[in-house]
Amino acid sequence: MTVQANAGRPDSAAPPAPPAIELRGISKAFGPVQANKDISIRVARGSIHGIIGENGAGKSTLMSILYGFYRADSGEILIGGQPTAIPDSQAAIRAGIGMVFQHFKLVQNFTVLENVILGAEGGAMLRGAMTRARQSLLDLARDYELDVNPDAVVEDLSVGHQQRVEILKALYRQADILILDEPTGVLTPPEADQLFRILRGLKDQGKTVILITHKLREIMEITDTVSVMRRGEMVATVKTAETGPEQLAELMVGRKVLLRVEKRPATPGRPVLEVENLTLRDGQGVERLRGISLSIRAGEILGIAGVAGNGQSELLEVLGGYARASGSVRLNGQPLDLSGREDAATRRAQGIGHVPEDRQARGLIMDFSAWENAAFGYHNAPEFQKSNILMDNDAIRADTVSKMERYDVRPPIPTLAAKNFSGGNQQKIVVAREMDRNPDLLLIGQPTRGVDIGAIEFIHKQIVALRDAGKAVLLVSVELDEIMSLSDRIAVMFDGRIMGERDPATTDERDLGLLMAGVVQ
Amino acid sequence: MTAMPKWADAVLVPLISLLIAFVISGLVILAIGENPMEAMRIMVSGALGSTYGWGYTLYYATNFIFTGLAVSVAFHAGLFNIGGEGQAGVGGLGVALACLYIPWPHWSLALAAALVASAVFGAAWAAIPAWLQAKRGSHIVITTIMFNFIASALLVYVLVNILRPTGSMDASSARFAEHLRLPRLNEILALVGIPFNNRNPANISFLLGLVACVAVWVLMWRTRLGYELRAFGKSEKAAVYAGISPVKITMAAMLISGALAGMMAVNTVMGEAQRLILNSVEGAGFIGIAVALMGRSHPFGVLLAALLFGFLYQGGAELALWTKIPRELIVVIQALVILFTGALDNMVRRPVETLFLMARKGR
């Protein structure tokens, strides 16, 4: 295998055709943080090139530079061998670069056609553009297996189809180079397979695809070449056929990594959480939870598998104390009030810790410092008060220093704002806060979303340790790998219902995938 | 991602914005055929060149401190309280009632009562929009604006029909008893041997304004309520997750905001006019928005911005008195200051950031 030890230097022997994209010595700093350090990379035309790295390794920054969101402090971008300046995204589009973001940028109540021409109307009147776009959508659908009804309203489409609209948008703008940022995060396994088929089709038509991901399996499955980033540097570029997941993981983290979670068999005790017939209607009167029943015992991890948006979030919200529902929930035998009289603070006092699914919108106040966040939700605790009114900020800071040390939060600076930590370290702050109080029940949603491999390993160990300490854990994740390796029992949710329970030892991805799609009862 | 040191962010950027605003104001003055340097000289000497000028500057600044703090507190909770004008007006009614209808033996007792009354009245006036926002989702910007008009009408009614002494043609209340007059700044400064002009309205309320700055700082950064308030202002979703009640915080923030705006009336009604007159707030409630914007909602910044606007107010009055420059021009200058320090903040910030980055690299 050929690991290019210092990717900072281009090969001495020039390849015959110019690469689709070549970056030379790209550097970008945000204040004291060097996000990209002298990055050089060549992406061959008509290939699928994976970029892998931990969160905060600089992948997104690099792609943002390529798409004109940031300007590099130094370095050069060559598109098809021509030095090209990309001051903004318009220039990127002109250079033939299309980007599919992790969070889609679609107007939900527009049709597919309207979304595709948005920003590329080509005149004050829409009629002409609509007709042209309709024709080219049909052509693209034929060429690349990208079937979407042009007149469907985006909010009615499944996530997989919305993603196709994003790809169509890029192709409609004549993109030759397609960048996809963590594209499978929101997809079911069958949808991901479909996406990969589309990407292969694009490649066969001579398009160049750059795939940013943290999932080693996807890299191995679909890419031709893979570049590994670590701490702002490009540490290696290798042919995918000549490497393996273990080596890539090691390159990403800089040390050997355990990809499987090591745990002893569970020894379940008394029931901690008993949920019966839990039903929730949202503001529009739509049933989001349709009679959920489940129970978790002490010393047990119950994993909830399912495609995002099938009621998992609502389940966590009800148990976490900030959504009303009907039905019965008992914690340690005591019934909980679900009518809205008890709030999230009550739940914490009752012994429920809660790592929310969306740490940036719920779990943390991004502008608050780490120490202010480390007390968030527990800021009423007696040890954090100086008097009835005044908080004891010194006590909170001291507690934060200790938490940061025990949960390996880096950098261990309590005064740093949450937004300046990497995703993994942000999550460690939340996990430290919610686990450190030794809750009887831990609700944990998407524990490792946007979290780097090193931190995933750490967080998984913490979850298992909590279980081994005799606590109950409700794990919600869209990552099947994570559900399969952590759970002692797996329940699959679809459309607000539990479709079935499985033993992780006897089930497989196919079986779960069918349940997740609502196929078998 | 901090590209520049904190002091540059807090002081340098507003200062440059201010400079640009002044330069453009100078061009405007030039355009109407007056000498900008002369205008500047008149403003500075009129507002800061004598203790008389300082007295007026501090008197106006006191109003702006209270209304600026009021806007800041609500702003930290993510609420835009445009109703400072009405809350201060109604606060003035509280002051008048407290001073007219209870025979206080000493001004200090009356001051305490007036503070409480103005705060309660101001808070009550803010409570209705706050309640509508918290419970019904009626947008606080709209409701507080509407409440300004209601307050104005209410005050006219009360002054004309209830508080106006029989036989008086003037829509204002009776004068407060002479012994309730608040100590003027010159009397206070005389205690420590500093001579100060006695023909200006600056009074003990300025010191209360300073106390209010400290109190708001403690509230925001040292108390649990302030913590919850700031958290709610940054992210309502996260606040709910943490068990912070949106209703409680919306009410608390607006009550405190209304109380601060109301307390401004102690300065104008009790400190200066010594009776309740029509339109005693004179737009200070709206200036408070600019003051909070420029002061970045930090009590110390609000203090500095309030002093600046006090200077602009007094300097502008002098300008109108000694030149042919109309008083309205001062509104133009104020608008430019707001435009550059508030709305166009990034226009100055970006280049300054770039400069700091270049300087860092050069090292």
CATH of the domain at A496: 3.40.50.300
Please list every residue in chain B whose beta carbon sits closer than 8 Å to the beta carbon of residue A321: 243
On whether residue B164 sits in a domain, the answer given is yes
Q: Is A415 on the interface with B (CB under 8 A)?
A: no
Chain B residue at shortest CA distance from A362 = B238
pLDDT at A1: 40
Strand partners, A22: A42, A78
Entry pTM: 0.80
Mean of the pLDDT values across residues B191-215? 95
β-pairing verdict for A225-230 and A33-43: unpaired
pLDDT at A55: 67
Residue A11 has pLDDT above 50, yes or no: no
Chain B residue at shortest CA distance from A344 = B243
On whether residue B18 sits in a domain, the answer given is no
If asked whether residues A289 and A365 sit together in one domain, one would say: yes
Report pLDDT digits (tens) over B61-73: 999 999 999 999 9
Residue A13 has pLDDT above 60, yes or no: no
Contact A393 B237 (CB under 8 A): no
Name the helix (H) or strand (E) containing A273: strand A271-281
What is the band of A9 on the pLDDT scale with cuts at 50, 70, 90?
very low
Whether residue A411 is preceded by a cis peptide bond, meaning omega within 30 degrees of 0, is: yes
Name the helix (H) or strand (E) containing B214: helix B205-222
Distance (Å, whole) CA B93 – CA B261 = 13
What is the band of A5 on the pLDDT scale with cuts at 50, 70, 90?
very low
Chain A nearest C-alpha distance from B5 (Å)? 10
Nearest to A321 among B224, B234, B243 (CB): B243
Chain B nearest C-alpha distance from A119 (Å)? 25
Chain A nearest C-alpha distance from B67 (Å)? 24
On whether residue B301 sits in a domain, the answer given is yes
Q: How many CB pairs under 8 A join A and B?
A: 74
Chain A residue at shortest CA distance from B353 = A31
Other C-beta atoms within 10 Å of A283: how many? 5
pLDDT at A4: 45
Report pLDDT digits (tens) over A385-430: 999 999 999 999 999 999 999 999 988 999 999 988 888 899 999 9
- The mean pLDDT value of chain B amounts to 92
Mean of the pLDDT values across residues A245-251? 84
Chain B nearest C-alpha distance from A195 (Å)? 33
Residue A356 has pLDDT above 70, yes or no: yes
If asked whether residues A351 and A293 sit together in one domain, one would say: yes
DSSP string, A157-197: S-HHHHHHHHHHHHHHTT-SEEEEESTTTT--HHHHHHHHH
Mean of the pLDDT values across residues B152-157? 96
pLDDT at A308: 79
If asked whether residues A297 and A400 sit together in one domain, one would say: yes
What is the token pair recorded at A141? 């659908």
pLDDT at A434: 96
pLDDT at B157: 96
Lowest mean pLDDT among A27-36, A96-105, B157-166: A27-36
Give alpha helix (H) positions in A223-369.
Answer: 245-253, 312-320, 344-350
Nearest to A361 among B227, B228, B238 (CB): B238
- The mean pLDDT value of chain A amounts to 88
Specify whether the CB–CB gap between A455 and A428 falls below 8 A.
Answer: yes
Specify whether the CB–CB gap between B247 and A416 falls below 8 A.
Answer: no
Specify whether the CB–CB gap between A495 and A518 falls below 8 A.
Answer: yes
Query: In sequence order, which residues have a C-beta less than 8 Å from that of residue A392 and are 6 or more positions away?
Result: A383, A384, A385, A386
If asked whether residues A490 and A394 sit together in one domain, one would say: yes
pLDDT at B335: 85
The Cα-based distances of A49 to A178, A502, B316 in angstroms read 10, 37, 65
Report pLDDT digits (tens) over A158-210: 888 888 899 999 888 889 999 998 888 777 777 888 899 999 999 998 999 99
If asked whether residues A37 and A139 sit together in one domain, one would say: no
pLDDT at A381: 93
Distance (Å, whole) CA A346 – CA B352 = 47
pLDDT at B71: 97
Q: Is A368 on the interface with B (CB under 8 A)?
A: yes
CA A204 to chain centre: 28
The Cα-based distances of A505 to A327, A484, A487, A489, B189 in angstroms read 31, 8, 10, 9, 83
Mutating which of A60, A355, A362 best tests the B interface, going by the most B Cβ atoms within 10 A?
A362
On whether residue A259 sits in a domain, the answer given is no
What is the band of A6 on the pLDDT scale with cuts at 50, 70, 90?
very low
If asked whether residues A121 and A65 sit together in one domain, one would say: no
Residue B225 has pLDDT above 50, yes or no: yes
What is the band of A111 on the pLDDT scale with cuts at 50, 70, 90?
very high
Residue B256 has pLDDT above 80, yes or no: yes
Number of helices (H), then strands (E), belonging to chain B: the values are: 16, 0
Lowest mean pLDDT among A46-60, A361-375, B91-105: A46-60
Q: Is B135 on the interface with A (CB under 8 A)?
A: no
Contact A31 B2 (CB under 8 A): yes
Specify whether the CB–CB gap between B263 and B118 falls below 8 A.
Answer: yes
ipTM over 0.85 threshold: yes
Nearest to B241 among A320, A372, A393 (CB): A320
Which domain covers residue B289, as residue numbers?
Answer: 57-358
CA dihedral A19, A23, A25, A31 (to 10 degrees): -170
On whether residue A258 sits in a domain, the answer given is no
Name the helix (H) or strand (E) containing A112: helix A112-117
On whether residue B181 sits in a domain, the answer given is yes
Sheet containing strand A208-213, edge to edge, reads: A97-100, A177-181, A208-213, A48-53, A225-230, A233-239
Please list every residue in chain A whose beta carbon sits closer than 8 Å to the beta carbon of residue B243: 321-322, 343-348, 377, 380
Contact B1 A367 (CB under 8 A): no
CA B56 to chain centre: 15
User: In terms of Cα–Cα distance, which of B210, B211, B217 is closest to B73?
Assistant: B217
Mean of the pLDDT values across residues A278-282? 92
Helix axes A189-204, A127-144, angle to 10 degrees: 100
If asked whether residues A83 and A106 sit together in one domain, one would say: no
Helix (H, G, I), strand (E, B) or coil at A117: helix
If asked whether residues A120 and A160 sit together in one domain, one would say: yes
Chain A nearest C-alpha distance from B87 (Å)? 26
Which domain covers residue A408, as residue numbers?
Answer: 271-516
Residue B46 has pLDDT above 80, yes or no: yes
Distance (Å, whole) CA A417 – CA A440 = 30
If asked whether residues A81 and A118 sit together in one domain, one would say: no
Q: Is B3 on the interface with A (CB under 8 A)?
A: yes
Among the candidates A173, A195, A220, a domain finishes at: A173
Say how many Å lie between the first and final Cα of chain A, rounded.
47
On whether residue B27 sits in a domain, the answer given is no
Mean of the pLDDT values across residues A481-501? 93
Contact A379 B1 (CB under 8 A): no
Specify whether the CB–CB gap between A47 and A224 falls below 8 A.
Answer: yes
What is the band of B357 on the pLDDT scale with cuts at 50, 70, 90?
confident
Q: Is B359 on the interface with A (CB under 8 A)?
A: no
Q: Is B230 on the interface with A (CB under 8 A)?
A: yes
pLDDT at A247: 86
**Structurally, how many domains does chain B consist of?**
1
Distance (Å, whole) CA A516 – CA B10 = 53
Residue A12 has pLDDT above 70, yes or no: no
Please list every residue in chain B whose beta carbon sits closer than 8 Å to the beta carbon of residue A322: 240-241, 243
What is the band of A468 on the pLDDT scale with cuts at 50, 70, 90?
very high
The Cα-based distances of A48 to A4, A84, A165, A223, A496 in angstroms read 18, 22, 20, 5, 37
The amino acid at residue A323 is A
Can you give the CATH number for the domain in which B153 is found? Answer: 1.10.3470
Strand partners, A271: A297
Residue A7 has pLDDT above 60, yes or no: no
Mean of the pLDDT values across residues B256-278? 96
On whether residue A261 sits in a domain, the answer given is no
Contact A364 B238 (CB under 8 A): yes
Q: Is the pLDDT higher at B333 or at A503?
A: A503
Phi, psi of A490 (to 5 degrees): -120, 130
If asked whether residues A127 and A239 sit together in one domain, one would say: no
Among the candidates A253, A281, A301, a domain finishes at: A253
Name the helix (H) or strand (E) containing A202: helix A189-204
Query: In sequence order, which residues have a C-beta less than 8 Å from that of residue A464 and are 6 or more positions away?
Result: A261, A262, A263, A301, A486
Residue A271 has pLDDT above 60, yes or no: yes
Please list every residue in chain B whose beta carbon sits closer than 8 Å to the beta carbon of residue A365: 230-231, 234-235, 238
**Structurally, how many domains does chain A consist of?**
3
Computed from CA positions of residues A192, A195, A197, A200, in that sequence, does the dihedral angle turn out positive or negative? negative
Distance (Å, whole) CA B16 – CA B344 = 12
If asked whether residues A11 and A159 sit together in one domain, one would say: no
pLDDT at B3: 57
Query: In sequence order, which residues have a C-beta less than 8 Å from that of residue A61 and are 6 or more positions away?
Result: A28, A35, A36, A70, A232
